[in-house]
Amino acid sequence: MPKVKTEKKSRVHNEVQKQGIVFNKDFGQHILKNPLVITTMLEKAALRPTDVVLEIGPGTGNMTVRMLEKAKKVIACEIDTRLAAELQKRVQATPMQPKLQILIGDFLKAEMPFFDLCIANVPYQISSPLIFKLLLHRPIFRCAVLMFQREFAQRLVAKPGDKLYCRLSINTQLLARVDMLMKVGKNNFRPPPKVESSVVRLEPKNPPPPVNFTEWDGLTRIAFLRKNKTLAATFKVSSVIEMLEKNYKVFRSLRNEPLEEGFNMQEKVIGILEELEMATLRARSMDIDDFMRLLRAFNSKGIHFN
């Protein structure tokens, strides 16, 4: 059996070498090769001739070229200088060349340009930080159509009570409307990844929700530490109480206010939960309105999560 496996790997490697490029697994390089999937993604993005499109991880440019045919401009962010050179070569001396801007480097560290749409086959290992970098970007863009690992995509659209509902779900849905568009099998990529994929459409909420996202993220981070435990049990964890107590003391100090006599952070937190009748709730079943109400109650008592 090991021999068969080795032969298979060798065939795949030889096939890729014939294309002139050996793809780098560290960068999550799986090139989308099915033109029908690309067409559907562009249709779902409702691409206009006046649009500036941001693409993360263009690879060899199969989708980039299609976007250049329809858009005013495409800004392609590529970490691999070899693939950036291939993409540049592909449009050289064509009418598409002046419409393409290539940014070489790590997207997560780069300063984002203005864009109307983001359309991309996302390197799966940066999926979560990429989403929040996009959704917290200003000015707000129109929409993003993105390819993700299927389970990650399912977490994005999961609702309270669903098995996959998690902090990623509620944080994303706070900032955007999220729709699952289609499933994409492994064989639509070269080389095929080990996991199935799905395409998701994200439409940022405009205006954005009236909430400090750093505070919100701090609250949901604590609540989903133990999403199946009650909030009362979760907020009794010593490390959580210590963090909230430290923040509270800073808050009171900045206002030149002494701590209340007999101050006890755990009692204060549990008191707020009981007052809201939320002590027995579990994060897995709470929606955005529940967390918004909880955050406002904590903040009104000087308890902060940033």
197 in a structural domain: yes
User: Looking at the structure, do residues 182 and 267 belong to the same domain, yes or no?
Assistant: no
The residue among 180, 204, 228 that closes a domain is 204
> Would the pLDDT of 13 be above 80?
no
CATH code for the domain in which residue 139 is found:
3.40.50.150
Residue 180 lies in a domain: yes
For 234-258, how does the pLDDT look when each residue is reduced to its tens digit (9 = 90+)?
Answer: 999 999 999 999 999 999 999 999 9
pLDDT tens per residue across span 106-162: 999 999 999 999 999 998 899 999 999 999 999 999 999 999 999 999 999 999 999
> Could you tell me if 168 and 266 lie in one domain?
no
Do 233 and 114 reside in the same domain of the chain? no
Domain assignment of residue 96, yes or no? yes
Q: Same structural domain for residues 77 and 164?
A: yes
* Residue 8 confidence (pLDDT) above 50: no
How many structural domains are present in the chain?
A: 2
74 Cβ contact list (under 8 Å, min separation 6): 52, 53, 54, 55, 64, 67, 68, 99, 100, 101
pLDDT of residue 228: 93
Q: What is the pLDDT of residues 81-94, one digit of tens each?
A: 999 999 999 999 99
**Cα–Cα distance measured from residue 293 to residue 306, given in angstroms and rounded to the nearest whole number:** 17
> Do 168 and 262 fall into the same domain?
no
Residue 17 confidence class, pLDDT cut points 50, 70, 90: very low
In a domain, 305, yes or no: no
Asked if residue 225 and residue 82 are part of one domain, the reply reads no
For residue 306, being part of any structural domain is answered with no
**In the predicted model, what is the mean pLDDT of residues 262-273?**
96
pLDDT given for residue 190 in this prediction: 86
**Of the candidates 251, 148, 163, 186, which has an alpha carbon nearest to the alpha carbon of residue 34?**
186
State how beta strands 197-204 and 176-184 pair. Answer: antiparallel
**Structural domain for 159, as ranges:** 2-204
What SS3 state is found at 250?
A: helix
Whether the per-residue pLDDT at 289 is higher than 50: the answer is yes
Rounded Cα–Cα distance for residues 185 and 34 (Å): 10
Above 90 in pLDDT, residue 180?
A: yes
What value does the CA radius of gyration of the chain take, rounded to a whole number of Å? 23
Give the separation between CA 109 and CA 103, rounded to whole angstroms.
Answer: 12
Amino acid at 17: Q
**pLDDT class of 24 with cuts at 50, 70, 90:** low
25-65 tens-digit pLDDT:
544 457 899 999 999 999 999 999 999 999 999 999 999 99
Q: What mean pLDDT is predicted for residues 207-230?
A: 96
Query: Helix (H, G, I), strand (E, B), or coil: what is residue 106?
Result: coil
Query: Is the same domain home to 133 and 254?
Result: no
pLDDT, mean over the chain: 91
Kindly report the CATH number assigned to the domain that includes residue 245: 1.10.8.480
Residue 142 and residue 289 in one domain: no
Q: For 15-72, where are the E strands, in sequence order?
A: 31-32, 52-56
Please tell me whether residues 68 and 34 are part of one structural domain. yes
Same domain, 24 and 65: yes
Share of the chain above pLDDT 90, in %: 86
Q: Report yes or no on 249 lying in a domain.
A: yes
Residues 110 and 190 in one domain: yes
Residues 51 and 131 in one domain: yes
306 pLDDT band, cuts 50/70/90, is: confident
Question: Does the global pTM surpass 0.85?
Answer: yes
Residue at a domain's end among 185, 204, 223: 204
- Residue 74: the pLDDT is 98
pLDDT at 173: 98
Give the angle 95-139-63 at the CA atoms, nearest 5°. 35
Of 204, 236, 259, which one is at a domain's C-terminal end? 204
Gap between the Cα atoms of 207 and 176, Å rounded: 10
Whether residue 5 is predicted with pLDDT greater than 70 in this model: the reply is: no
